[in-house]
Amino acid sequence: DAGVIQSPRHEVTEMGQEVTLRCKPISGHNSLFWYRQTMMRGLELLIYFNNNVPIDDSGMPEDRFSAKMPNASFSTLKIQPSEPRDSAVYFCASSSGGTQYFGPGTRLLVL
Amino acid sequence: GENVEQHPSTLSVQEGDSAVIKCTYSDSASNYFPWYKQELGKRPQLIIDIRSNVGEKKDQRIAVTLNKTAKHFSLHITETQPEDSAVYFCAANDRGSTLGRLYFGRGTQLTVWP
Protein backbone atom coordinates (compact mmCIF):
# COMPACT_ATOMS: atom_id res chain seq x y z
CA ASP A 1 0.00 0.00 0.00
CA ALA A 2 1.44 3.35 -1.08
CA GLY A 3 -0.23 5.27 1.72
CA VAL A 4 -1.71 8.73 1.31
CA ILE A 5 -0.08 10.59 -1.56
CA GLN A 6 0.18 14.36 -1.75
CA SER A 7 1.54 16.65 -4.40
CA PRO A 8 3.40 18.84 -4.71
CA ARG A 9 5.66 18.28 -1.71
CA HIS A 10 6.89 21.85 -1.80
CA GLU A 11 5.35 24.93 -3.35
CA VAL A 12 6.72 28.45 -3.49
CA THR A 13 4.48 31.06 -5.04
CA GLU A 14 3.89 34.76 -5.04
CA MET A 15 1.05 36.51 -3.30
CA GLY A 16 -2.06 36.61 -5.45
CA GLN A 17 -1.33 33.41 -7.33
CA GLU A 18 -3.61 30.38 -7.31
CA VAL A 19 -2.35 27.31 -5.49
CA THR A 20 -3.75 23.80 -5.91
CA LEU A 21 -2.81 21.00 -3.55
CA ARG A 22 -3.63 17.41 -4.43
CA CYS A 23 -4.30 14.29 -2.42
CA LYS A 24 -4.85 10.63 -3.18
CA PRO A 25 -6.25 8.76 -0.16
CA ILE A 26 -5.55 5.15 0.74
CA SER A 27 -7.67 2.85 -1.41
CA GLY A 28 -10.80 1.76 0.41
CA HIS A 29 -10.82 4.65 2.88
CA ASN A 30 -14.09 6.56 2.81
CA SER A 31 -13.12 9.64 4.83
CA LEU A 32 -10.64 12.31 3.78
CA PHE A 33 -9.36 15.20 5.86
CA TRP A 34 -7.42 18.38 5.03
CA TYR A 35 -5.33 19.92 7.82
CA ARG A 36 -3.12 22.98 8.05
CA GLN A 37 -0.19 23.05 10.47
CA THR A 38 1.64 26.15 11.69
CA MET A 39 3.73 26.88 14.75
CA MET A 40 1.23 29.45 15.97
CA ARG A 41 -2.03 27.53 15.46
CA GLY A 42 -0.92 23.91 15.59
CA LEU A 43 -2.81 21.29 13.59
CA GLU A 44 -6.11 22.70 12.30
CA LEU A 45 -8.82 20.72 10.52
CA LEU A 46 -9.91 22.66 7.44
CA ILE A 47 -12.50 20.35 5.89
CA TYR A 48 -13.39 16.70 5.72
CA PHE A 49 -15.28 14.47 3.32
CA ASN A 50 -17.13 11.23 3.80
CA ASN A 51 -17.92 9.16 0.70
CA ASN A 52 -16.80 12.15 -1.41
CA VAL A 53 -19.33 14.48 0.25
CA PRO A 54 -18.11 17.49 2.29
CA ILE A 55 -19.29 17.00 5.86
CA ASP A 56 -17.82 19.96 7.70
CA ASP A 57 -15.99 22.90 6.15
CA SER A 58 -16.22 25.18 9.19
CA GLY A 59 -12.45 25.16 9.50
CA MET A 60 -11.88 26.70 6.07
CA PRO A 61 -10.45 30.10 6.97
CA GLU A 62 -12.17 32.17 4.30
CA ASP A 63 -13.67 32.14 0.83
CA ARG A 64 -10.24 32.07 -0.75
CA PHE A 65 -10.06 28.40 0.24
CA SER A 66 -12.05 25.71 -1.54
CA ALA A 67 -11.87 21.92 -1.62
CA LYS A 68 -13.31 19.26 -3.86
CA MET A 69 -13.44 15.50 -3.96
CA PRO A 70 -14.70 14.49 -7.42
CA ASN A 71 -14.16 10.77 -6.76
CA ALA A 72 -13.02 8.35 -4.08
CA SER A 73 -9.37 8.53 -5.11
CA PHE A 74 -8.71 12.24 -5.51
CA SER A 75 -9.16 15.52 -3.68
CA THR A 76 -7.91 19.06 -4.18
CA LEU A 77 -7.50 22.05 -1.92
CA LYS A 78 -7.32 25.34 -3.74
CA ILE A 79 -6.28 28.76 -2.49
CA GLN A 80 -7.14 31.69 -4.73
CA PRO A 81 -5.70 34.25 -4.32
CA SER A 82 -2.92 33.14 -2.02
CA GLU A 83 -1.53 35.37 0.74
CA PRO A 84 1.68 35.20 2.81
CA ARG A 85 -0.31 34.17 5.90
CA ASP A 86 -1.34 30.99 4.06
CA SER A 87 2.24 29.75 4.37
CA ALA A 88 2.06 26.46 6.27
CA VAL A 89 2.29 22.71 5.89
CA TYR A 90 -0.92 21.24 4.52
CA PHE A 91 -1.63 17.61 5.36
CA CYS A 92 -4.18 15.30 3.84
CA ALA A 93 -5.28 12.26 5.85
CA SER A 94 -7.65 9.39 5.17
CA SER A 95 -9.43 6.82 7.29
CA SER A 96 -12.07 4.13 7.17
CA GLY A 97 -13.75 5.32 10.36
CA GLY A 98 -10.98 5.02 12.92
CA THR A 99 -7.27 5.62 12.58
CA GLN A 100 -6.29 8.50 10.36
CA TYR A 101 -3.25 8.06 8.13
CA PHE A 102 -1.47 11.22 7.10
CA GLY A 103 0.19 12.04 3.83
CA PRO A 104 3.69 13.54 3.70
CA GLY A 105 2.31 17.06 3.52
CA THR A 106 2.76 20.00 1.17
CA ARG A 107 5.01 22.76 2.45
CA LEU A 108 3.60 26.01 1.06
CA LEU A 109 5.45 29.29 1.06
CA VAL A 110 3.69 32.37 -0.24
CA LEU A 111 6.02 35.31 -0.84
CA GLY B 1 -17.86 19.31 19.52
CA GLU B 2 -15.15 17.52 21.45
CA ASN B 3 -12.44 19.55 23.25
CA VAL B 4 -9.06 17.94 23.90
CA GLU B 5 -6.52 19.52 26.26
CA GLN B 6 -2.93 18.30 26.35
CA HIS B 7 -0.21 18.88 28.93
CA PRO B 8 2.60 19.69 29.17
CA SER B 9 3.39 21.62 26.01
CA THR B 10 7.10 20.87 26.42
CA LEU B 11 8.86 18.08 28.27
CA SER B 12 12.58 17.44 28.70
CA VAL B 13 13.90 14.21 30.17
CA GLN B 14 17.22 12.47 30.51
CA GLU B 15 17.81 9.38 28.42
CA GLY B 16 16.56 6.34 30.29
CA ASP B 17 13.98 8.25 32.31
CA SER B 18 10.22 7.94 31.81
CA ALA B 19 7.99 10.52 30.15
CA VAL B 20 4.28 11.03 30.73
CA ILE B 21 1.94 13.17 28.63
CA LYS B 22 -1.64 13.76 29.76
CA CYS B 23 -4.80 14.65 27.87
CA THR B 24 -8.35 15.39 28.90
CA TYR B 25 -11.47 15.30 26.75
CA SER B 26 -14.92 16.76 27.16
CA ASP B 27 -17.34 14.42 25.39
CA SER B 28 -18.14 11.23 27.27
CA ALA B 29 -19.38 9.67 23.99
CA SER B 30 -15.82 9.61 22.57
CA ASN B 31 -14.60 6.04 22.38
CA TYR B 32 -11.35 6.09 20.40
CA PHE B 33 -8.11 7.76 21.54
CA PRO B 34 -5.04 7.63 19.29
CA TRP B 35 -1.58 9.05 19.88
CA TYR B 36 0.56 10.39 17.08
CA LYS B 37 4.28 11.11 16.94
CA GLN B 38 5.59 13.78 14.59
CA GLU B 39 9.30 14.05 13.99
CA LEU B 40 10.73 17.29 12.67
CA GLY B 41 9.71 17.83 9.07
CA LYS B 42 7.72 14.61 8.92
CA ARG B 43 4.04 13.63 9.00
CA PRO B 44 2.17 12.67 12.19
CA GLN B 45 2.29 8.89 12.58
CA LEU B 46 0.15 6.72 14.80
CA ILE B 47 2.15 5.09 17.59
CA ILE B 48 -0.58 3.62 19.79
CA ASP B 49 -4.31 3.88 20.30
CA ILE B 50 -6.89 2.77 22.84
CA ARG B 51 -10.61 2.21 22.76
CA SER B 52 -12.99 2.92 25.59
CA ASN B 53 -13.59 -0.75 26.39
CA VAL B 54 -10.09 -1.12 27.87
CA GLY B 55 -8.22 0.81 30.52
CA GLU B 56 -4.63 0.23 29.43
CA LYS B 57 -2.66 -0.86 26.41
CA LYS B 58 1.07 -1.50 26.05
CA ASP B 59 3.43 -1.80 23.12
CA GLN B 60 7.03 -2.35 24.18
CA ARG B 61 8.19 0.90 25.83
CA ILE B 62 4.94 2.74 25.15
CA ALA B 63 1.72 2.47 27.11
CA VAL B 64 -1.55 4.38 27.16
CA THR B 65 -4.01 4.51 30.04
CA LEU B 66 -7.62 5.65 29.93
CA ASN B 67 -9.85 6.82 32.76
CA LYS B 68 -13.35 7.17 31.34
CA THR B 69 -14.84 8.46 34.57
CA ALA B 70 -12.40 11.33 34.78
CA LYS B 71 -12.24 11.68 30.99
CA HIS B 72 -8.51 11.66 30.73
CA PHE B 73 -5.89 9.51 29.06
CA SER B 74 -2.12 9.44 29.22
CA LEU B 75 0.88 8.31 27.20
CA HIS B 76 3.74 6.71 29.08
CA ILE B 77 7.16 6.19 27.51
CA THR B 78 9.66 4.22 29.55
CA GLU B 79 13.44 3.99 29.09
CA THR B 80 13.40 7.02 26.82
CA GLN B 81 15.93 7.28 23.99
CA PRO B 82 17.08 10.30 21.97
CA GLU B 83 15.08 9.03 18.99
CA ASP B 84 11.91 9.47 21.06
CA SER B 85 12.41 13.24 20.70
CA ALA B 86 9.44 14.54 18.70
CA VAL B 87 6.07 16.25 19.04
CA TYR B 88 3.37 13.97 20.40
CA PHE B 89 -0.33 14.58 19.76
CA CYS B 90 -3.27 13.01 21.53
CA ALA B 91 -6.69 12.88 19.93
CA ALA B 92 -10.27 11.81 20.60
CA ASN B 93 -12.94 10.88 18.10
CA ASP B 94 -16.17 12.67 17.44
CA ARG B 95 -18.95 11.40 19.73
CA GLY B 96 -18.38 7.83 18.70
CA SER B 97 -19.00 8.77 15.08
CA THR B 98 -18.02 6.34 12.35
CA LEU B 99 -17.01 9.26 10.14
CA GLY B 100 -13.61 9.24 11.72
CA ARG B 101 -13.18 12.89 12.67
CA LEU B 102 -10.54 13.36 15.36
CA TYR B 103 -10.02 16.28 17.72
CA PHE B 104 -6.33 16.83 18.40
CA GLY B 105 -4.53 18.28 21.39
CA ARG B 106 -2.01 21.09 20.82
CA GLY B 107 0.94 18.73 21.07
CA THR B 108 3.84 18.09 23.46
CA GLN B 109 7.41 18.70 22.36
CA LEU B 110 9.43 15.91 24.00
CA THR B 111 13.19 16.28 24.15
CA VAL B 112 15.32 13.39 25.38
CA TRP B 113 18.84 14.41 26.37
CA PRO B 114 21.61 11.83 25.96
The whole-number pLDDT of residue A97 equals 75
Query: In Å, how far is B99's CA from the nearest CA of chain A?
Result: 5
- Yes or no: say if A107 and A8 are a contact pair by the CB < 8 Å rule: no
Name chain B contacts of A103, Cβ cutoff 8 Å: 43
Helices (H) and strands (E) in chain A, counts: 0, 11
The pLDDT profile of chain B, 114 residues, written as one tens digit per residue, is: 789 999 999 999 999 999 999 999 999 889 999 999 999 999 999 999 999 888 999 999 999 999 999 999 999 999 999 999 999 999 999 876 666 789 999 999 999 999
Residue B17 to chain A, least CA–CA distance (Å): 27
pLDDT on residue B98: 65
Residues from chain B that touch A23, judged by Cβ atoms under 8 A, are none
% of chain A exceeding 90 in pLDDT = 87
Q: CA–CA separation, B71 vs B80, rounded Å?
A: 26
Per-residue pLDDT of A82-108, as tens digits, reads 999 999 999 999 998 788 999 999 999
User: What is the end-to-end Cα distance of chain B in Å, rounded?
Assistant: 41
Residue B96 pLDDT: 62
A67 pLDDT higher than 70:
yes
Which residue spans within B39-107 are E strands per DSSP? Answer: 45-51, 56-59, 62-67, 72-77, 86-93, 102-104
Encode B5-33: b = buried (16+ Cβ within 10 Å), e = exposed: ebeeeebebeeeeebbbbbbbebeebbbb
Contacts of A104 in chain B (CB under 8 A): 42-43
Q: Is B3 on the interface with A (CB under 8 A)?
A: no
Q: Do B104 and A100 touch (CB under 8 A)?
A: no
Verify whether the Cβ–Cβ distance B44 to A91 is below 8 Å.
yes
Q: Is the pLDDT of residue A1 over 70?
A: no
pLDDT on residue B53: 84
What is the distance in angstroms between the CA of the first residue and the CA of the last residue of chain A?
Answer: 36
- CB-based contact, B83 to chain A, within 8 Å: no
**Torsion angle, alpha carbons of B50, B69, B94, B106, to 10:** -80
